[in-house]
Amino acid sequence: MTINPPLVVNGVSISYGKKQVLHEVSFAMEQGEIFGLIGQNGAGKTTLIRMILNLIKGKGDVSLFGVNHEQHTARNKLIYMPEMLQPSSRLKGWEYLSLVLASYSMKLDRDKASKIAEEMAFDVKVLKDRISTYSKGMGQKLGLIAVFLTELPLLLLDEPMSGLDPMARVKFKDNLLAENKKGRSVFFSSHILADIEEICTRIGVLHEGKLIYLGKPDDFIAQNKASSLERAFLKAIT
């Protein structure tokens, strides 16, 4: 039985007026991998994610588990979390989790949610409070708890560690690796290259709208004769 890749991007180009933001970007995710997308601000990372989600149009093809991204059913197997997560401040934590799961026809398991919250160093007691009382970091953790609760096969995360303190970042990475071992595929962008280097199976490097590297982080570091992914990235774009 043939298993379709979680994500295939083929020849994607996007322009805003006269400015071309993405130039013929192509890659395919492998089943069960953690794929990291890196690039400077304005490189086209979020634009590519929006194209994958069919929120904007462009040239080229995108498929999710073998289904064209323009079909609604293509997104049934993924959960997306934006960088600036802004759940309604009127909702309570439990209500937000219930709504996210309901959108996938799932019911909230409070025991499971509490366990994940504890693993994320999130005080379970505040789930009964309104989100208006949460800090940015707490709101980000709440979103990640929802992501892990769905158990969907593809996680699409845009800067998921934005706003997380050092302990929460470690907890998040531990949870992400644990979910990956269960077979879930992960696509995420991040400015924190040390985290990308630590947990990603493969990376894509976007620079000025072009994919200038696709492969293992260690190979990219060696190719640029650098001591870390961060330094290799700087060498590659300067």
Q: What is the mean pLDDT of residues 100-108?
A: 95
Rounded CA-CA distance 161/171 in Å is 11
Tell me the one-letter amino acid at 89. S
Q: Is the pLDDT of residue 84 over 80?
A: no
**pLDDT computed for residue 43 by the predictor:** 87
Rounded CA-CA distance 3/6 in Å is 9
Residue 84's beta-bridge partner residues? none
**Strand pairing of 34-38 and 8-16?**
unpaired
Q: Is the pLDDT of residue 78 over 90?
A: yes
Indicate the pLDDT class of residue 107, thresholds 50, 70 and 90. Answer: very high
**pLDDT computed for residue 2 by the predictor:** 64
**pLDDT computed for residue 18 by the predictor:** 85
**pLDDT computed for residue 85 by the predictor:** 82
Rounded CA-CA distance 162/85 in Å is 10
Residue among 58, 49, 44, 60 at smallest CA distance from 209: 44
Average pLDDT, the chain: 93
Please give the model's pTM, rounded to 2 decimal places. Answer: 0.91
Indicate the pLDDT class of residue 1, thresholds 50, 70 and 90. Answer: low
Q: What is the CATH number of domain 1-77+160-238?
A: 3.40.50.300
User: Domain ranges in the chain?
Assistant: 1-77+160-238, 84-152
Q: Is the pLDDT of residue 11 over 70?
A: yes
Rounded CA-CA distance 110/168 in Å is 21
**pLDDT computed for residue 136 by the predictor:** 87
DSSP 129: S
Tell me the one-letter amino acid at 28. A
Indicate the pLDDT class of residue 27, thresholds 50, 70 and 90. Answer: very high
